[in-house]
Structure 1
Amino acid sequence: MTSIAVGVVCGPILCIWITVASCFCPSRPNRNTESPEKKRFERRQKMAPRPLAKRAPNHRLSISFPLPDTNKRTVVNGSYIEKTTRGPTIDQTLTPLMRLPMELRQMIYRYVLGDSTMHMVLKEQKLGHLRCKAESTITCPMGYNGLTLSRECCWGKVDSANIWSPQNGNKEEPTDGGIVPLLRSCRQIYSESIKFLYSTNAFSFSDLDALRYFSCTVLPQRFNLIQNLDIEWAMAWPIYDPIAQQLLLVNPALYPPNDEATWEETWRIISNMPNLRVVRVSLLYFDGFRDTACEEKMLAPLRKVTRPETFEVHVSWQGQEITDAPFDLTRDKSDIDSERES
């Protein structure tokens, strides 16, 4: 009887002790010390493209115009060869294309390389560009996969880290839109045509890191030729809202590219682009900003972008009208329309 009484009294105490110990045991928190966002950030860092290496002045790919004097070139098999420190450069003036007037050649270059929308995507340790299959970025359908924005119907899917994955599973699938062969044909064609790639296309970004990497993986003089930007960004959590970030119960609350530092760096890069003419921005967040001051801090970096002739910003949440900004802000009116219908 004594043992039964001890079991009845001590049994519940033992169960409570086991439950408490299992919850607060030092070894338990170590099982999942890394949040999914941290793992996602670390994978993105591992897959990040390397910045453009510095080149010596005599290692540039493009050539100067006009072409050097004939006396400084030699003739081999009917073609002029320019002697440079980079290596011999064959003069293509005897080819059918180079016999055309420069105006006609430029029309050909622009037709092949320009007047399209280029979706910039993150690939494994490099960036990729994919020519949009729609007539424009506005008419290109976009979806949200729960983590980020994606145009699966146009250029394939992305994984949880927003790394591009082709629709057919072939990671070696060409994604250059058929523009690379022309640029690689010869140095003179490259030198005459490369400007059309950057100055006449609209560059579309759905990842802030992709734009940052793009700015440091191409030559500055090429990047500065860009005139048209299209940015779509899905916020994972409100930036500049410390109360909302405390609800995440992790430190740091936000990892790049969802943090304030990446947001500000992105707009610093955009504000320094000298030839921007058109900027279109679409910002998505499932709930929006409850504090007007937080939204003002979020929009503050955009106010430094003053060069574009057209600067449109669309947000998916409600708020007050903004009239004193260098951009035209429009808000999603679906909630208002639904309230009116009800």
Structure 2
Amino acid sequence: MRASSLAISIVCGPVVCCYVVFAACFCPGRLQRHTESDDKKRFERRQKVAPRPLPIRPPERCLTLPACLSEKAARSATAPKGKTFEQTQSRLLQLPLELRRMIYREVLGDKTMHIVLKENRLGHLRCKAPSSIECPLGYNGRSLSRECCWGTVDSANIWCPRNGERKRTDGDILPFLQSCRQIYSESIDTLYSTNTFSFSDLDCLRYFSCTILPSRFALITMLDVEWCMSWPIYDTTAQNLLLTNPALYPPNDEATWEATWRIIADMPSLKFIRASLLYFDGFRDTACESKMLAPLFSVTKPDKENFEVHVSWGGDEFPDAPFTLLRPMVRDTLSSDDEAW
């Protein structure tokens, strides 16, 4: 019985190999119908639960008080229709504006906000570490994650609380902002201008730019972007050898990567950017690495000293780049041996 099975395998083996090669070359769709790409499933799930762009609000729903509104303008038809009451009984609002802004910054500012992708919306959590550089960054097999701060993600990189607990992702700041319209108007700019916004998913940054008011997004001064690049990004030779079409699904494709840096390049108030990039084995082709870094050259703010790009692989330097490229340290074994002698 064993001998007959072995004989059948020897005879049929080449036939099966020839069929696979023929189907891959001339009928790739035939193979794809039998096995659906996991990347495609993740992409479709992310599209299904993607946050919706910010709708256009009517004037009567405006939450922010005008900076200066005269009594005559308040009675005009063009004035905002939202009702506002004097908060004379509030001890906080009895303080001078300068002191109130110091309190707002203590409550809302000088932290790192991790922006996470949730079902049909975004969430944000305050970093538990003293600074974003001290927040441990891990790799869960699919993408970069900071599980110590915001728990785990599923196969589509969508946030899911530990043990299924329904934890809020507002960083405990929404109750303060919702307590009073005047407090919201005076403190909302502090939230965006004094915090570092951390993104471990390119789609999160893209969704964030279109789910908040453009005037708020323009106030962001510090940005932290971590991203694990998927093989074979910017490697057209390797992509042509794959049987999938497209070779890379968003957000791992070149189009999403380039769109992300176009958004960053249009942010007018940036004072600091840190980009941490991980690639499984590094770019062996210098041309591919140059194509990957090309979108970063469109960023003109901040200056080179405050624009750090950390990569996980070695390679050549880019002296004319508008950013500081930081590669891993390579230990010089020869010099260490000399020192030992």
TM superposition score category, shorter chain reference:
0.7 to 0.9
> In the alignment, residue 98 of structure 1 is paired with which amino acid?
L
C-alpha separation in 1, matches of 2:248 and 2:299: 25
> In the alignment, residue 109 of structure 2 is paired with which amino acid?
G
Residue 203 in structure 1 maps to residue 197 in structure 2: yes
Residue 165 in structure 1 maps to residue 160 in structure 2: yes
2:50 to 48, 51, 64: 48
TM-score, structure 1 as length reference: 0.86
Shift of the 197–32 alpha-carbon distance from structure 1 to 2, 3 Å rule, reads: farther
C-alpha separation in 1, matches of 2:301 and 2:289: 23
2:318 to 292, 316, 322: 322
CA apart distance, 1:284: 0.3
1:128 to 105, 120, 123: 123
TM-score, structure 2 as length reference: 0.86
C-alpha separation in 2, matches of 1:211 and 1:301: 16
- Stretch moving more, 283-292 or 128-137: 283-292
- Say which SS state the counterpart of residue 120 (structure 1) adopts: strand
Count of residue pairs brought into register by the alignment: 321
> In the alignment, residue 326 of structure 2 is paired with which amino acid?
T
CA apart distance, 1:291: 1.2
Indicate the RMSD between aligned Cα atoms, in angstroms.
2.9
- Structure possessing the higher radius of gyration over alpha carbons: 1
CA apart distance, 1:12: 5.3
1:250 to 244, 253, 260: 244
2:250, 2:256 within 8 Å by CA — same for their partners in 1?
Answer: yes
What's the CA shift string for 1:154-184, capped at 9, x where partnerless? 21011111101112322x3112111101110
- Say which SS state the counterpart of residue 132 (structure 2) adopts: coil
> In the alignment, residue 317 of structure 1 is paired with which amino acid?
W
CA apart distance, 1:58: 3.7
CA apart distance, 1:321: 1.2
Shift of the 62–71 alpha-carbon distance from structure 1 to 2, 3 Å rule, reads: closer
1:280, 1:311 within 8 Å by CA — same for their partners in 2?
Answer: yes
Give the 5 Å matches for 1:1-342: 16=12, 20=16, 29=31, 32-69=34-71, 86-170=81-165, 172-309=166-303, 310-333=306-329, 336-337=330-331
1:238, 1:288 within 8 Å by CA — same for their partners in 2?
Answer: no
> In the alignment, residue 164 of structure 1 is paired with which amino acid?
W
C-alpha separation in 2, matches of 1:219 and 1:108: 24
> In the alignment, residue 262 of structure 1 is paired with which amino acid?
T
2:113, 2:197 within 8 Å by CA — same for their partners in 1?
Answer: yes
Match of 1:76 in 2: none
C-alpha separation in 2, matches of 1:214 and 1:130: 14
C-alpha separation in 2, matches of 1:16 and 1:202: 61
Shift of the 137–32 alpha-carbon distance from structure 1 to 2, 3 Å rule, reads: farther
- Say which SS state the counterpart of residue 34 (structure 1) adopts: coil
- Say which SS state the counterpart of residue 289 (structure 1) adopts: coil
C-alpha separation in 2, matches of 1:71 and 1:16: 87
CA apart distance, 1:339: 5.5
CA apart distance, 1:87: 3.5
> In the alignment, residue 148 of structure 1 is paired with which amino acid?
S
Structure 1 residues without counterparts, runs of 5 or longer: 1-7, 74-82
- Stretch moving more, 207-216 or 85-94: 85-94
> In the alignment, residue 248 of structure 1 is paired with which amino acid?
L
1:91, 1:188 within 8 Å by CA — same for their partners in 2?
Answer: no
- Say which SS state the counterpart of residue 97 (structure 1) adopts: coil
CA apart distance, 1:68: 4.1
Task: Using the aligned pairs only, state the percent identity.
Answer: 63
C-alpha separation in 2, matches of 1:269 and 1:20: 49
1:119, 1:132 within 8 Å by CA — same for their partners in 2?
Answer: yes
C-alpha separation in 1, matches of 2:276 and 2:34: 35
1:156, 1:165 within 8 Å by CA — same for their partners in 2?
Answer: yes
Shift of the 185–67 alpha-carbon distance from structure 1 to 2, 3 Å rule, reads: farther
- Stretch moving more, 32-41 or 323-332: 32-41
> In the alignment, residue 177 of structure 2 is paired with which amino acid?
L
